[in-house]
Amino acid sequence: MDHRTLEQRARAFEHVFDAVVVTDLEGNIVDWNVGAEKLYGWSREEAVGQPVSILHVKDEPDRTAEVLSAVEKDGKWAGEIKMQHRDETIGWIESVVVPLLDDDGQPCGALGINRDITRRVHNEEELVRLATTDPLTGLPNRGLLLDRLEGTLRRAERRLHCFALLFIDLDDFKEINDHGGHLVGDRVLKEVAQDLATALRDCDTVARIGGDEFAVLIEDCSGIDDARDVGAKVLQAVKRSIEIDGAAHRLTASVGIAVYPSDGHEVSTLLGHADEAMYRAKTRGGNWCE
């Protein structure tokens, strides 16, 4: 079957709202409808003859061969895939691709029906962000910390390596909050969060777990000495003087450390050990890592 016949068969989809893209067996665009023009930004005249890879996101693997192979083998391919608009904006489509057969029943091309799901994907991503992020500081929240801690524990068990968990409590934060009010308190929490994230590595998880308490998960940790070095960075990052109504208020932190496997083999045990160590640091007068 020649390209003209493929085009004629594709005309039935001209007024379908979804984007319809017809390709030959080499993955070159043979035809597409008005829906495809709206979705991708190219006119039919501009698109026909181009490889379908022009619709794929640059710097990501070209999945054309994978999709066509699945269509030939299974009679259909369905999935969600990133797309690139003519103006290079990135979106998401839900796609179903089926084979086109010639008069002898042999594959001669493929027809894809694509629906824009970019808004849905972004809404889902936003829901995940809201569920896993502290709204004040933008840091991971307690729930996300626990999820990452579970994953880190499983990897450490398989690979037989150490990791550390640090609990951080701000010393005398209540006094700052009482004297300056919640606006000052919130500003201090945001500044501390930013400084902690800046002081530590990108691969470490810095989380706000509630009130004036933070936590740090160090996945790549050689042992207690390494964890104490991170604890010292935390103390330095938090330490500051805050002026409220002409009076200086000193802010420091108490840090408690738990190291796997020496301090426990379960998430609950490690959490408890880090919490107890933090309170021991507090009994020493604060500005201490235990």
Look up 212 and say whether it is catalytic. yes
Residue 57 carries which DSSP code? P
Separation CA 155–CA 186 (nearest Å): 36
Residue tagged active-site, from 134, 212, 220, 225:
212
B/e letters for 133-147, b = 16+ CB within 10 Å, e = fewer, are: bbeebebbbeebbbe
Separation CA 94–CA 83 (nearest Å): 10
B/e letters for 252-275, b = 16+ CB within 10 Å, e = fewer, are: bbbbbbbbbeebbeeeeebbebbb
By residue count, the chain amounts to 290
The alpha carbon dihedral of 151, 166, 235, 137 has a sign of: positive
Separation CA 228–CA 162 (nearest Å): 14
Pairing of strands 163-171, 205-210: unpaired
Separation CA 256–CA 235 (nearest Å): 11
* Among candidate residues 205, 140, 138, the one with its CA nearest the CA of residue 166: 205
Q: How far is CA 153 from the centre of its chain?
A: 20
Catalytic positions: 212
